């Protein structure tokens, strides 16, 4: 009886509480009755706030009582509205543009402009302004990406149907919201996502991150990976006056404080700078708000314009922190005209909260398994920024699509349409066949990875497929069967690889491989079959040297702790030397360039090693210092490393077991780091590796230490590959030292060259060294890169040989 009474009491109390909350909503307009989007709305003397949506509509849910609402947006007069809330209330608001008054005669931006003094004062206080307190707060984010126009077809597929666009080929591609807790204690940060909603994917997790919307203009430079490799100079950086002119437009009073409005003008159209407005609190000399834009002249990639609007709020005790930020973008690529925005609203700040020991660690974003379980009613009650009509329609449309996909007949129809074989798509990108009901798919590799020519097999084909099946969020199986046949060698090879991932959070997996195959004598497998086909047929340069292996191997890997990974495995193989069976380049004059299949004796058809059995084991331990990551319910996603990675490797040939004829011990250590940022000077990458065979009682050429060489004009620029190194000549069965360094200047110099700067090229310089007892090798190069295109020119030096000069080209993803 007591339990029943308690239940009735709590239900009654909850209903009463719900009924005592009312909604105040409305539309925010300018003096011309146009909507003002993303306006900040505060309840005076509280931590309660919201923000208007893209069409100027706002919404707040409050208990009954008297309130003062504050409406604020940079460029407009602040408005305060008093109200008494006893029922739902519609309160529309008009904002008037600020009327600015200059204390002195307005002059053009120059050395004498009073704005310079103001900006210098802000710069002088930067180190204090960056020293924000420890805090925690609530963050609401929304991300929208939409197509404004698109081609009718691409690769034979109807774009509107594929992307669920309307008849004008317009529509929202991505719509997602999150609610998170954000924690900060310099230099540490952490986000805990509490709720996630993704249009069209009820089981998915949002890609929105409050961390990505943390923009601090008190830093000298700002960088977004999504915009490319360029960093951008803050208008209040230490060296701001080298890049900007400032003009004081006026000042206005707000809440007893005088705020200066300053125009930010880049000195050069093509410098990595912002343009727009900053608002500065007089006497405090801190930013009150920013309204800044980046254009393609600032060398941003993927979008044409990026607009940032940010406001700050006074927390008391001289602490000002962001109240909201909106980042809007627009661009056009390959006929796709797109736009969108990401916005974050901060509320319920708590300054200097106590954090338990160990609270901040390498996990910077935690997404729990239940964050996507909140229904539409919950979001309607807890969403601080109302949806636009277009966004409401998109949620409804995607919900209908989801419901239809639950219908088996409808899902099979979509699947059948998607799985139709399209020759052009297969040639360029391969063909995928989905089985949605089974959570699996097959992928068939494209034509250029199927047909090949080399001097050992002649013309041949390599049929490869990849099968993937997901059993649960953490467990999956991947299989890759492979059939290979050469018409000149008349040898059929078949093998398969199976990888079973049992815990994606700990990157735990087991891999089994078995069968027969023709393998590259360079055990790093650096030469592309397609490129070797071209060089052999057109130049008579048969770079690829092969041997046959009948093998079985087993390996496993697991993350032992954050950033610490261990892998290990064993292989038993019977290995056969091979000889050329065909030498028919297209141009007869190039046949003289054909060499034997023995890289140690290219002029002789001699076997590079005798038939042998080999049993070997290998283990590798890698550790990335300070490796940060995002933890999702189904996996752990590593952030780009801020510190180096070190790898220790040990490989041993075991004699006599299974008639194994190898007996050696090899150790090596690697140290590397990619993209060490240097502000406006771009970024550097380095790689150092050293190793030694401790003993070599018995081993063969495939067991030697090989290196990632390259001799073709088209190459893979993946760092740290060599540009000009012979694929086989520097393999060693002794000790070695390898080093690479590369720097990308991110357009630091070429942006100053007329015409060329419009190409948005990035200058690259680099070099590499390889030393071993028999010889040493050095190379240096410089080049230019633009997205998926890169061209380099370089030189290489080898003792006893003339200097080699050559170009290298890469085009692709």
Secondary structure in 3-state letters for 654-715: ECCHHHCCCEEEEEEEEEEEEEEECHHHCEEEEEEEEEEEEEEEECCHHHCECCCCCCCCEC
Least confident of 206-220, 307-321, 484-498: 307-321
> Do residue 280 and residue 338 come from a single domain?
yes
At 195, is the secondary structure helix, strand, or coil? strand
For residue 105, pLDDT over 60 is answered with no
What is the C-alpha separation between 89 and 542, in angstroms, rounded?
80
What pLDDT is attached to residue 14? Answer: 38
**pLDDT interval class at 233 (50, 70, 90):** very high
> Do residue 198 and residue 335 come from a single domain?
yes
Q: How far is CA 725 from the centre of its chain?
A: 31
Pairing of strands 22-30, 93-95: parallel
SS3 content of the chain, % helix, strand, coil (to 5): 15, 50, 35
> Do residue 140 and residue 88 come from a single domain?
no
> Do residue 311 and residue 395 come from a single domain?
yes
For residue 284, pLDDT over 60 is answered with yes
Q: How far is CA 207 from the centre of its chain?
A: 11
Residue with tokens 């070599």: 696
In a domain, 15, yes or no: no
Least confident of 15-19, 217-221, 458-462, 558-562: 15-19
For residue 108, pLDDT over 60 is answered with no
Contact indicator for 727, 543 with CB cutoff of 8 Å: yes
- Of the two residues 317 and 478, the one the predictor is more confident about is 478
> Do residue 26 and residue 87 come from a single domain?
yes
pLDDT tens readout for residues 470-489: 999 899 999 999 999 999 99
Question: Both tokens of residue 11?
Answer: 């239900």
In a domain, 287, yes or no: yes
For residue 795, pLDDT over 80 is answered with yes
> Do residue 53 and residue 176 come from a single domain?
no
> Do residue 156 and residue 90 come from a single domain?
no
pLDDT tens readout for residues 385-444: 999 999 999 999 888 877 666 666 766 777 787 888 888 888 888 999 999 888 999 999
For residue 162, pLDDT over 80 is answered with no
What is the C-alpha separation between 725 and 778, in angstroms, rounded?
9
At 468, is the secondary structure helix, strand, or coil? strand
**pLDDT interval class at 3 (50, 70, 90):** very low
Average pLDDT, the chain: 89
> Do residue 289 and residue 361 come from a single domain?
yes
Q: What is the DSSP string of 729-755?
A: TT-BSSEEEEEEEEEE-TTTTGGGSTT
For residue 767, pLDDT over 50 is answered with yes
Contact indicator for 255, 249 with CB cutoff of 8 Å: no
In a domain, 331, yes or no: yes
Residue with tokens 């008639």: 659
What pLDDT is attached to residue 699? Answer: 96
Residue range 283-288: average pLDDT?
Answer: 91
State the alpha helices, DSSP H only, in 462-566: 529-539
- Total structural domains in the chain? 2
Helix 408-418 to helix 389-406 angle, to the nearest 10 degrees?
A: 100
- Give the structural domain span for 70: 20-95
In a domain, 269, yes or no: yes
> Do residue 282 and residue 397 come from a single domain?
yes
What number of other Cβ atoms are within 10 A of residue 653's Cβ? 23
The CATH number assigned to the domain holding 71 equals: 2.60.40.1120
Question: Where is the domain boundary, 68, 95, 122?
Answer: 95
**pLDDT interval class at 109 (50, 70, 90):** low
Contact indicator for 477, 496 with CB cutoff of 8 Å: no
For residue 11, pLDDT over 80 is answered with no
Question: Where is the domain boundary, 337, 367, 401?
Answer: 401
Distant-in-sequence, close-in-space partners of 354: CB < 8 Å, separation ≥ 6 = none
Least confident of 169-183, 310-324, 329-343, 635-649: 310-324
In a domain, 556, yes or no: no
For residue 507, pLDDT over 50 is answered with yes
For residue 12, pLDDT over 70 is answered with no
For residue 4, pLDDT over 70 is answered with no
What are the residues facing 795 on neighbouring strands?
Answer: 780, 805
In a domain, 438, yes or no: no
Question: Where is the domain boundary, 95, 125, 160?
Answer: 95
For residue 47, pLDDT over 70 is answered with yes
Contact indicator for 466, 478 with CB cutoff of 8 Å: yes
Residue range 171-195: average pLDDT?
Answer: 94
What pLDDT is attached to residue 1? Answer: 37
What is the C-alpha separation between 194 and 199, in angstroms, rounded?
17
**pLDDT interval class at 7 (50, 70, 90):** very low
What's the DSSP call for residue 540? Answer: -
> Do residue 150 and residue 82 come from a single domain?
no
> Do residue 268 and residue 355 come from a single domain?
yes
Of 265, 243, 238, the C-alpha closest to 115 is 265
What pLDDT is attached to residue 127? Answer: 77
- Rg of the chain in Å (alpha carbons): 32
In a domain, 473, yes or no: no
In a domain, 682, yes or no: no
> Do residue 324 and residue 396 come from a single domain?
yes
Residue range 226-254: average pLDDT?
Answer: 92
At 584, is the secondary structure helix, strand, or coil? coil
Contact indicator for 130, 216 with CB cutoff of 8 Å: yes
């Amino acid at each position: 009886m007591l339990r029943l009474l308690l239940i009735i009491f709590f239900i009654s109390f909850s209903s009463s509480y719900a009924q005592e909350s009312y909604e105040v909503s409305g539309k925010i307009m300018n003096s011309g009755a146009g909507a003002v989007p993303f306006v900040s709305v505060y309840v005076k003397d509280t931590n309660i706030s919201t923000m208007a949506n893209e069409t100027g509509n706002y919404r707040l849910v409050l208990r009954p009582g008297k309130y003062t609402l504050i409406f604020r947006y940079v460029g407009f007069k602040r408005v305060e509205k008093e109200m008494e809330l006893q029922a739902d209330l519609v309160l529309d608001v008009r904002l008037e543009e600020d009327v600015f008054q200059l204390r002195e005669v307005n002059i053009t931006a120059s050395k004498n402009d009073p704005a310079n003094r103001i900006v210098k004062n802000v710069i002088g206080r930067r180190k204090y302004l960056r020293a924000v307190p420890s805090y925690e707060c609530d963050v609401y984010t929304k991300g929208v990406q939409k197509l404004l126009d698109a081609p009718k077809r691409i690769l034979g597929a109807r774009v509107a149907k594929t992307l669920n666009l309307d008849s004008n080929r317009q529509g929202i591609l991505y719509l997602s919201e999150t609610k998170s807790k954000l924690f900060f204690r310099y230099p540490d940060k952490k986000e805990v996502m509490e709720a996630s909603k993704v249009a069209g994917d009820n089981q998915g997790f949002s890609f929105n991150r409050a961390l990505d919307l943390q923009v601090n203009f008190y830093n000298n430079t700002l960088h977004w990976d999504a915009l490319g490799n360029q960093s951008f100079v803050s208008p209040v950086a230490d060296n701001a006056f080298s890049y900007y002119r400032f003009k004081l437009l006026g000042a206005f009073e707000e809440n007893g404080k005088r705020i200066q409005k300053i125009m930010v003008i880049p000195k050069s159209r093509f410098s990595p700078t912002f343009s727009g407005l900053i608002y500065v609190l007089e006497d405090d000399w801190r930013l009150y708000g920013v309204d800044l834009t980046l254009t393609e002249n600032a060398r941003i990639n993927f979008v044409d314009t990026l607009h940032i609007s940010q406001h700050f709020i006074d927390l008391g005790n001289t602490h000002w922190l962001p109240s909201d930020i909106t980042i809007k973008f627009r661009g056009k690529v390959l006929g796709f005209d797109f736009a969108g925005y990401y916005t974050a609203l901060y509320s319920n700040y708590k300054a200097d909260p106590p954090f338990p020991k160990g609270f901040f660690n390498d996990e910077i974003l935690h997404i729990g398994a239940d964050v996507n379980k909140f229904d539409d009613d919950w979001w309607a009650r807890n969403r601080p920024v109302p949806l636009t009509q277009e966004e409401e329609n998109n949620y409804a449309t995607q919900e209908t699509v989801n419901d239809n996909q639950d219908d088996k007949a409808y899902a099979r129809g979509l699947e059948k349409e998607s799985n139709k074989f399209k020759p052009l798509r297969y040639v360029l990108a391969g063909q995928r066949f989905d089985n949605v009901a089974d959570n699996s798919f097959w992928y068939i590799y494209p034509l250029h990875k199927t047909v090949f020519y080399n001097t050992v097999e002649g013309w041949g084909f390599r049929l490869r497929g990849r099968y993937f099946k997901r059993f649960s969020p953490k467990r999956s199986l991947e299989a890759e069967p492979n059939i290979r046949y050469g018409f000149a060698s008349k040898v059929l090879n078949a093998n398969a690889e199976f990888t079973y991932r049992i815990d994606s959070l700990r990157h735990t997996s087991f891999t089994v491989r078995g069968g027969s195959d023709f393998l590259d004598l360079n055990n790093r497998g650096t030469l592309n079959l397609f490129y070797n086909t071209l060089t052999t047929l057109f130049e008579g340069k048969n770079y690829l040297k092969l041997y046959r292996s009948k093998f079985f191997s087993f390996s496993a890997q697991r993350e032992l702790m954050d950033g610490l990974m261990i892998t290990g495995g064993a292989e038993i193989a019977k290995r056969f030397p091979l000889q050329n069976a065909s030498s028919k380049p297209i141009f007869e004059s190039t046949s003289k360039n054909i060499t034997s299949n023995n890289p140690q004796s290219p002029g002789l058809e001699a076997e590079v090693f005798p038939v042998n059995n080999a049993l070997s084991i290998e283990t590798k331990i890698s550790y990335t210092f300070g490796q940060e990551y995002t933890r999702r319910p189904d996996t752990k996603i590593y952030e780009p490393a801020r510190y180096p990675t070190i790898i220790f490797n040990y490989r041993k040939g075991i004699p006599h077991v299974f008639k194994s004829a190898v007996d050696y011990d090899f150790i090596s250590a690697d140290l590397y780091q990619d993209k060490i940022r240097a502000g406006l000077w771009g970024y550097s990458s380095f790689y150092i590796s050293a190793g030694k065979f401790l003993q070599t009682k018995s081993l063969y050429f495939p067991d030697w230490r090989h290196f990632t060489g390259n001799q073709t004009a088209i190459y893979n620029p993946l760092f740290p590959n060599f540009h000009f190194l012979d694929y086989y000549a520097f393999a060693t069965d002794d000790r070695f030292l390898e080093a690479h360094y590369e720097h990308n200047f991110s357009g630091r110099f070429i942006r100053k060259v007329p015409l060329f700067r419009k190409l948005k090229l990035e200058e690259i310089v680099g070099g590499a060294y390889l030393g071993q007892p028999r010889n040493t090798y050095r190379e240096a190069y410089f080049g230019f890169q633009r997205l998926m295109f890169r061209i380099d020119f370089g030189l290489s030096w080898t003792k006893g040989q003339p200097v080699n000069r050559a170009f290298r080209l890469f085009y692709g993803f």
